[in-house]
Amino acid sequence: RQPGRSAVVTLAMAAGPPPPFEPSPLPTFPEEGFGEKFLRKTRENPLVPLGCLCTVGILTYGIICFKKGNTRRSQLMMRARVVAQGFTFAALLGGTMATAIKSRQ
């Protein structure tokens, strides 16, 4: 038998039973439609939609050049599309990191 063990048990018993657990209410959020959510996310990180538009525009122009037979311009546009996609991904990653850092503070 350890000498200090009975003192710890006695102190715990003297404190009484723990208070009943009362869960905190869950937060409520207003209903947000697609349009409102899209506008909010665009305001939070405007570079992602801009990158998406650039990617689609470059892809469309590249396909038009391909259909017209301008293979040199078509290949250039496909390379530009990859660069635009990289920019969009970097913007998405940067926005995610900024949001995570902001939520920690």
Where are the chain's structural domains? Answer: 75-104
**If pLDDT is split at 50, 70 and 90, which confidence band does 8 have?**
low
Instruction: List the one residue out of 80, 105, 90, 104 whose CA is nearest residue 45.
Output: 90
Of 19 and 68, which is predicted with more confidence? 68
The stretch 48-67 carries a mean pLDDT of 96
pLDDT digits (tens, 9 = 90+) for 17-36: 667 777 778 777 788 888 89
Let me know how long the chain is: 105
Phi, psi of 3 (to 5 degrees): -65, -35
Residue 105: pLDDT over 90: no
Tokens read off for 46: 């405007």
**What per-residue confidence (pLDDT) applies to 12?**
56
